[in-house]
Amino acid sequence: MRLFATVILALGVVAAPAYGQRAPERPRAREAGVVVGVLAPGPLNAITDVAGVRVGQTTITEGDSVQTGVTAILPHGGDLFHERVPAAIHVGNGFGKLLGSTQVDELGELETPILLTCTLCVWKAADAMVGWMLARPGMEDVRSINPVVGETNDGVLNAIRLRPVAWQHVTAALESASAGPVAEGNVGAGAGTVAFGWKGGIGTSSRRLPASLGGYTVGVLVQTNYGGVLSINGAPVGREMRQFAFQRQLQAAPPSGTAMNPVRERADGSVMIVVATDAPLSAASLDRVAMRALAGIARTGGSFTNGSGDYVIAFSTADSVRRRTGSAPRAITDLPNDAMSPLFQAAAEAAEEAVYNSLFRATTVRTRAATVEALPIDRTLEILRRYNALGWDRTLPPGARP
């Protein structure tokens, strides 16, 4: 039985069949036989495999119209403001509201947790996190703080104009953060998201390099809300299911009486990607790792469309590169460029698998505004079998198996 660091605040009680009701638990991608890449995952196959990283989530469900939430990622369990981690933000497509990015770009460090939420709730979430930070011990004299808050637009399933995220939701996510397994699917900031026309959400994965490649761990967490043509291990799932972007325009003469579903063929949207590693990396090296996480998104069939905000936030938890406040010089040990390629591979693989986990774990959500179906797993697996895209671990050497 998994134990998840998730707080669910149900602000409206409805009888079954309920709006936003969770279906029985669905498997993660790897549990269903979808083995991505050649590197082995960590024991949890989650961003929390990177020592010290903690994740907390608040899911907000209100009646038949609100499906949203907050996901908090804490780089370590200490004083985040006074013991900052090096960080970088890489922009795949800048159609978004990533708060705090300019200071991260300038200084190359994080001084707060990372929050993910819905588009119109960014500023409310940031204000709540600043209040939470300022109230912590040792923060009495702080007069400037740079909250980092990312978002995707969950307005298909969520009454986003209500801006339902409040301080208690943010505080609950931050206070509940733990280093254990991470809940996936329609939880936290993924409660109302849509990916490839199916229900998207939160997904996570990790890769642990063998000692011969450095022994480091890379973990990824995604908030999926983007479109394209879904591909899983190279198998054209979206095409085979006839659910992909630009269907209306590509169909010269739609059958009489056929109405295309704009949710099923949507192309625009966004994806937030958080990459954590214990490899000792500078901000410049972290930007290079972040860029490779976008390769994982491309492998899933995303094309970074005009209206898609595609961002990667990468940070290192290594003590040797941590920045303590003050002006005293400190010796820094970080990896040379020639040691980076295994980390690039790990970031791409973990990002790809995290997306699949967000889809496999998500369940159908119905609100007053729309119904978004979960990815049909049985049909997906049938396609993957046909394209020989399952069980790839059978062909891997023992060191690449979990």
- Locate all alpha helices (DSSP H) within 200-299, ordered by sequence: 237-240, 247-250, 283-299
- Span 167-194, mean pLDDT? 98
330 band by pLDDT with thresholds 50, 70 and 90? confident
pLDDT value for 156: 96
* Least confidently predicted of 53-67, 227-241, 253-267, 339-353: 253-267
- Span 70-98, mean pLDDT? 97
Kindly report, residue by residue over 143-180, the tens digit of the pLDDT.
Answer: 999 999 999 999 999 999 999 999 999 999 999 999 99
Kindly report, residue by residue over 11-52, the tens digit of the pLDDT.
Answer: 432 222 333 334 458 999 999 999 999 999 999 999 999 999
The whole-angstrom separation of Cα 296 and Cα 349 is 6
- Span 76-85, mean pLDDT? 96
The whole-angstrom separation of Cα 189 and Cα 212 is 37
The whole-angstrom separation of Cα 72 and Cα 63 is 24
For the cut 80, the answer to whether the pLDDT of residue 366 exceeds it is yes
Q: Residue type at 355?
A: V
- Span 379-384, mean pLDDT? 98
389 band by pLDDT with thresholds 50, 70 and 90? very high
Angle at Cα 220 formed by Cα 214 and Cα 226, nearest 5°? 145
Helix and strand counts by DSSP (H, E) for the chain: 8, 16
Q: What percent of the chain has pLDDT over 70?
A: 90
CB 310 within 8 A of CB 105: no
For the cut 70, the answer to whether the pLDDT of residue 112 exceeds it is yes
- Span 287-295, mean pLDDT? 98
Kindly report, residue by residue over 201-245, the tens digit of the pLDDT.
Answer: 999 999 999 999 999 999 999 999 999 999 999 999 999 999 988
Burial class (CB in 10 A: 0-12, 13-18, 19+), 259: exposed
The whole-angstrom separation of Cα 312 and Cα 220 is 10
Q: What is the DSSP letter of 40?
A: P
Kindly report, residue by residue over 55-65, the tens digit of the pLDDT.
Answer: 999 999 999 99
Q: Which positions ≥6 away from 70 have C-beta within 8 Å?
A: 57, 58, 60, 115, 116, 117, 121, 125, 165, 169, 170, 172, 173, 188, 189
CB 157 within 8 A of CB 194: yes
9 band by pLDDT with thresholds 50, 70 and 90? low
Rg (CA), the chain: 20
The whole-angstrom separation of Cα 16 and Cα 305 is 37
Handedness of CA 154, 185, 376, 239 (dihedral sign): positive
By annotation, the residues acting in catalysis are 270, 308, 310
pLDDT value for 13: 29
pLDDT value for 310: 97
The domains found in the chain, sorted by start residue, are 6-12+27-251+262-326+336-391 (3.60.70.12)
The whole-angstrom separation of Cα 115 and Cα 92 is 19
The whole-angstrom separation of Cα 127 and Cα 166 is 10
255 band by pLDDT with thresholds 50, 70 and 90? low
321 band by pLDDT with thresholds 50, 70 and 90? very high
